[in-house]
């Protein structure tokens, strides 16, 4: 039994080591990635499922590592956040996504652009000035810039968060709550947050229509959003059954593999062609 215990410990230790090593590797490589511009933005369309028209895109970062290939943001964003590297990466994301939105506008496709903000960026006292500079330089309309925040970012010091939200609103941008339903913001707070859009998390959508609980929760979120005068976007929509359910419950803007995965900018013209044929 003793030997077994030692072995377990040994393996556990090895696993920890591997995780710590990977973390350290990613941290070091992230610094290089910033310098050598190994990041790219992909864009996933948000589609009005009544008309199949694109109403906007969410910018999603991709890291193409020269030897390890694509590294998922799920892996590196938390490390970038913990090390503070997210501030620089996030600033690049904001510029790049807004320039993309400008190029679309110049092609006569005036669509919204949604950008994920990290907790550090949201707390950064320079954020408003940065956004204002980006809006001036790219000359995209402020309303078309949607900033995605999560509930957990707002729930720490609620008063501070509300003030920051109000500051951002003064720029004219739109604010979304991402992954809605997965955090623990109470409804009374939700009413006080000056936000414009709720994004229903994929975890509620993915088992529709098999899971009747998820259907009830999704319908309740949509109904509540409407009561609060918020727009709703459903995330992770993959099937026509899900589209039908969402439409029947008055949610029309959807994002997910049903219409398209996130795309490199070069693939975007093809998307418009495909949707026109649907
Ligand atoms: P998120 O903001 O919730 O983004 C949605 C994620 O769901 C994306 O994963 C997207 O590719 C994926 N997705 C979209 N439609 C479907 C679908 O129909 N089925 C399934 N299974 N998945 C779908 P991705 O691109 O790997 O990004 C993961 C997370 O990384 C994002 O979750 C976001 O939290 C974070 N992230 C990505 N880009 C950025 C960024 O530029 N800045 C920050 N701070 N975070 C980012
Ligand atoms: Ca998001
Ligand atoms: Ca989300
Ligand atoms: Ca998510």
Mean pLDDT of 167-174: 98
CA of 60 to the centre of ligand 1 (A): 6
CA of 200 to the centre of ligand 3 (A): 8
pLDDT of residue 2: 47
Q: Which ligand is nearest to the CA of 255?
A: 1
For 85-134, write each residue's pLDDT tens digit: 999 999 999 999 999 999 999 999 989 999 999 999 999 999 999 999 99
Mean pLDDT of 125-146: 97
Largest alpha-carbon pair distance within the chain? 71
Q: Is residue 171 very low, low, confident or very high in pLDDT (cuts 50, 70, 90)? A: very high
For 176-203, write each residue's pLDDT tens digit: 999 998 887 677 788 899 999 999 999 9
Which residue CA neighbors atom 46 of ligand 1 most closely? 116
pLDDT of residue 46: 98
Instruction: Give me the percent of the chain exceeding a pLDDT of 70.
Output: 95
Which of ligand 1's atoms lies nearest the C-alpha of 72? 26
Instruction: Give me the percent of the chain exceeding a pLDDT of 90.
Output: 84
Q: Is the pLDDT of residue 18 over 90?
A: no
CA of 22 to the centre of ligand 3 (A): 25
For 31-46, write each residue's pLDDT tens digit: 999 999 999 999 999 9
* DSSP 8-state secondary structure symbol assigned to residue 142: G
Which of ligand 1's atoms lies nearest the C-alpha of 90? 42
pLDDT of residue 147: 98
Which residues does 47 contact at the CB level (< 8 Å), separation at least 6?
53, 54, 55, 253, 254, 255, 259, 260, 275
Q: Which ligand is nearest to the CA of 205?
A: 1
pLDDT of residue 181: 87
Q: Is residue 6 very low, low, confident or very high in pLDDT (cuts 50, 70, 90)? A: low
Which residues does 95 contact at the CB level (< 8 Å), separation at least 6?
134, 138
Which residue CA neighbors atom 11 of ligand 1 most closely? 262
Which of ligand 1's atoms lies nearest the C-alpha of 77? 45
Mean pLDDT of 21-26: 88
Q: Is residue 20 very low, low, confident or very high in pLDDT (cuts 50, 70, 90)? A: confident
**Mutation test residue for ligand 1: of 73, 78, 181, 255, the one with most atoms within 8 Å of CB:** 73
For 216-234, write each residue's pLDDT tens digit: 999 999 999 999 999 999 9
Which residues does 30 contact at the CB level (< 8 Å), separation at least 6?
76, 79, 80, 83, 85, 89
Ion ligand 4 — residues with CB < 5 Å: 179
Work out the mean pLDDT of the chain and round it to a whole number. 93
Q: What is the reported pTM?
A: 0.94
CA of 176 to the centre of ligand 2 (A): 9
Which of 12-16, 160-164, 217-221, 234-238 bottoms out in mean pLDDT, i.e. has the lowest? Answer: 12-16
Asked if the ipTM is above 0.95, the reply is: yes
H/E stretch holding 113 reads strand 112-116
Ion ligand 2 — residues with CB < 5 Å: 116, 148, 178
- Tell me if 47 sits within 8 A of 111, measured CB to CB: no
pLDDT of residue 188: 79
Mean pLDDT of 54-67: 97
Give ligand 1 pocket residues (Cβ under 6 A): 44, 59-61, 72-74, 77, 90, 93, 116, 118, 178-179, 202, 236-238, 256-257, 262
pLDDT of residue 138: 97
Closest-CA residue to 26 (of 99, 83, 95): 83
Q: Is residue 9 very low, low, confident or very high in pLDDT (cuts 50, 70, 90)? A: low
For 251-276, write each residue's pLDDT tens digit: 999 999 999 999 999 999 999 999 98
Q: Which ligand is nearest to the CA of 179?
A: 3
């Amino acid at each position: 039994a003793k030997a077994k215990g030692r072995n377990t410990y040994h393996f556990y230790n090895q696993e920890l080591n591997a995780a710590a090593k990977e973390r350290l590797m990613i941290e070091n490589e992230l610094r290089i990635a910033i310098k050598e511009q190994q990041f790219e933005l992909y864009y996933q369309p948000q589609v009005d499922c009544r008309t199949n028209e694109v109403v906007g895109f969410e910018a999603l970062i991709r890291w193409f590592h020269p030897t390890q290939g694509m590294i998922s943001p799920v892996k590196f964003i938390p490390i970038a956040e913990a090390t503070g590297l997210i501030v620089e990466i996030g600033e690049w994301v904001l510029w790049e996504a807004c320039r993309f939105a400008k190029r679309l506008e110049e092609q006569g496709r005036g669509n919204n652009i949604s950008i994920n903000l990290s907790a550090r960026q949201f707390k950064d006292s320079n954020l408003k000035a940065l956004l204002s500079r980006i809006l001036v330089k790219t000359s995209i309309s402020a309303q078309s810039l949607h900033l995605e925040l999560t509930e957990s970012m707002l729930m720490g010091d609620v008063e501070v968060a509300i003030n920051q939200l109000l500051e951002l609103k003064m720029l004219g941008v739109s604010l979304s709550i991402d992954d809605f339903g997965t955090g623990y913001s109470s409804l009374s707070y939700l009413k006080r947050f000056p936000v414009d859009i709720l994004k229903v998390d994929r975890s509620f959508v993915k088992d529709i229509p098999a899971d009747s609980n998820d259907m009830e929760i999704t319908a309740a979120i949509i109904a509540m959003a409407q009561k609060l005068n918020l727009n709703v976007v459903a995330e992770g929509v993959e099937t026509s059954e899900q589209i039908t359910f969402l439409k029947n419950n008055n949610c029309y803007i959807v994002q997910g593999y049903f219409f398209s995965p996130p795309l490199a900018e070069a693939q975007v013209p093809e998307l418009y062609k495909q949707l026109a044929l649907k």
